[in-house]
Amino acid sequence: IKTAVFISGTGSNLKNLIKFSKIKNSPISIDLIISNTSKAKGLSFANQFSIKKYVSSFKNHKTAETKILNLLKKENIKFICLAGFMRILSRSFIKKFRGKIINIHPSLLPKYKGLDTHIKAIQNKDKLAGCTVHLVTTKLDSGKIILQKVVKISKKDTSTSLAKKVLKQEHKLYPAAIKKIFN
Ligand code: GRF
């Protein structure tokens, strides 16, 4: 299944998905990387693994999405993984890929939608944190949950150390969720 990954930053999940796409019997191939900023470190994986990339600032959201939709069509992309993508896709975009866009979120949804999930978990003295892979719908971080992984918060944890711990689990969870969808 030809897949596009949308990123905005480091791209550790992207790198991990590329690795996953290359193992035997992987259901996906990564054929396109989209970023909303040329500063995204993760774009370097496009060069490293010879994957097509496209950058759009999304200054004009509608124009950006039209361009991306054309590109997805041209490249015959059938599945989209959001991985740290910091733009909200429009209702019409999501409808065109209904059920075919998934996202990874660093919390145990429905808890802590949106930003700063680790800060909120620490401030609220939660004992458990985690990550979720879910279907992308028109409501932010609210689509059907595919898989979740729980991470214990220790007394010593800061939002930074927690983010690290959760990210490690994200790298296991995202491929597992994709396997669950396609196998
Ligand atoms: C991850 O924690 C992801 O859950 C969140 O943004 C972060 C992206 O990290 N949405 P990376 O760019 O994949 O390293």
In this predicted model, what pLDDT tens digit does every residue of 16-59 receive, in sequence order?
999 999 999 999 999 999 999 999 999 999 999 999 999 999 99
Q: Residue 136: pLDDT above 90?
A: yes
| Chain Cα centroid distance, residue 7 | 7
Type of residue numbered 103: N
Give the residue, out of 35, 167, 169, with the most ligand 1 atoms within 8 A of its beta carbon, to mutate for a pocket test: 167
Region 138-156: mean pLDDT is 97
Distance in Å, CA 83 to ligand 1 centroid:
6
Angle between helices 159-182 and 12-21 (to 10 degrees): 30
The confidence score (pLDDT) of residue 116 equals 98
| Residues lining ligand 1, Cβ inside 6 A | 7, 9-13, 42, 83-84, 104-106, 167, 170
> How deeply is 86 buried, as exposed, middle or buried, from its count of CB atoms within 10 A (0-12, 13-18, 19+)?
middle
Is the model's pTM score more than 0.75?
yes
CA of 176 to the centre of ligand 1 (A): 16
Residue with tokens 């993760």: 42
**Contacts made by residues 111-114, CB under 8 angstroms, sequence distance 24+:** 113/140, 113/141, 113/142, 114/140, 114/141
Find the 121 Cα to ligand 1 centroid distance in Å. 17
Alpha helices (H) along 22-140: 44-48, 61-74, 91-96, 117-123
Output the residue whose Cα is nearest ligand 1's atom 1.
Answer: 84
**Percent of the chain clearing pLDDT 90 (strictly above):** 99
| Tens of pLDDT, residues 60-102 | 999 999 999 999 999 999 999 999 999 999 999 999 999 999 9
